[in-house]
């Protein structure tokens, strides 16, 4: 049986929104992450993984959403490609977990220095 290594591509992110010198590239990178989170099902998936404390099988994610399995897989792929989730293959099942480094960097987007928040 072939095992596939865990993909760990943390989101390349992000200058704080309040940064005075936000570049075009930094803005585009931040926008990519927000696009990955722009669907309510993707937000629910991230919420599930953020609160689970462990990797979750795709077979356990699908019944929690009111969409088909291929749609769940589509959403998971978008989140993995954005670097927000890690994917691990265990036999025939894929397990997903929140990429903690990416989540921490994303949280830093809303860090306001000075009196702005």
Domain total in the chain: 1
Q: Could you list the residue range(s) of the whole structural domain that residue 31 is in?
A: 24-110
CATH of the domain at 90: 1.10.10.10
Helix (H, G, I), strand (E, B) or coil at 57: strand
Give the pLDDT of residue 14. 66
Instruction: Please indicate whether residue 79 or residue 14 has the higher confidence score (pLDDT).
Output: 79
**69 is a domain residue:** yes
Query: Going by C-beta distance under 8 Å and a sequence separation of 6 or more, which residues neighbour residue 84?
Result: 11, 33, 36, 37, 46, 98, 99, 102, 103, 106
**Residue 79 corresponds to which tokens in the numbers above?**
């989140």
In a domain, 2, yes or no: no
Q: Is residue 95 part of a domain?
A: yes
pLDDT at 3: 39
- The band of 106, judged by pLDDT with boundaries at 50, 70 and 90, is confident
Q: Is residue 38 part of a domain?
A: yes
Tell whether pTM > 0.85: no
Q: What is the mean pLDDT of residues 46-69?
A: 93
Average pLDDT estimate for 63-88? 94
Residues 80-108 have a mean pLDDT of: 89
pLDDT (mean) for 9-29: 71
């Amino acid at each position: 049986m072939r095992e596939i290594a865990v993909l760990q591509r943390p989101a390349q992110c992000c200058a704080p929104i309040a940064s005075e010198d936000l570049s075009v590239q930094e803005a585009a990178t931040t926008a990519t992450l927000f696009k990955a989170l722009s669907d309510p099902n993707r937000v629910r998936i991230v919420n599930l993984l953020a609160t689970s404390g462990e990797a979750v099988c795709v077979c356990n994610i699908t019944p929690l959403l009111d969409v088909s399995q291929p749609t769940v897989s589509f959403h998971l792929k978008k989140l993995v490609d954005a670097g927000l989730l890690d994917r691990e293959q265990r036999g025939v099942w894929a397990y997903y977990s929140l990429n903690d480094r990416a989540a921490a960097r994303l949280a830093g987007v809303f860090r306001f220095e000075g009196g702005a928040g």
